[in-house]
Amino acid sequence: MLAFSSKKPAVLWLHGVVLAAPLALVTLTMTSLETPLSDGTYRGERGYRQVSDNCPRSVEIPEVIISKGTITFRSGEANWLGMINDKTGVIRIETAGITPRPSATLHIRGHYTKAQLFSAICGAGYFRIYR
- The per-residue pLDDT for range 32-41, each reduced to its tens digit, is 456 779 999 9
DSSP secondary structure code for residue 20 in this structure: H
Please determine, for residue 121, whether its predicted confidence score (pLDDT) is greater than 70. Answer: yes
Backbone φ and ψ for 103, nearest 5 degrees, come out as -75, -20
- The per-residue pLDDT for range 80-116, each reduced to its tens digit, is 999 999 999 999 999 999 999 999 999 999 999 999 9
Backbone φ and ψ for 48, nearest 5 degrees, come out as -120, 155
Give the mean pLDDT of 8-29.
Answer: 49
- In contact, 43 and 64? CB cutoff 8 Å: yes
- In contact, 12 and 64? CB cutoff 8 Å: no
How far is Cα 76 from Cα 48, in angstroms, rounded to an integer?
13
Considering the entire predicted model, what is its pTM?
A: 0.74
Give the mean pLDDT of 17-23.
Answer: 50
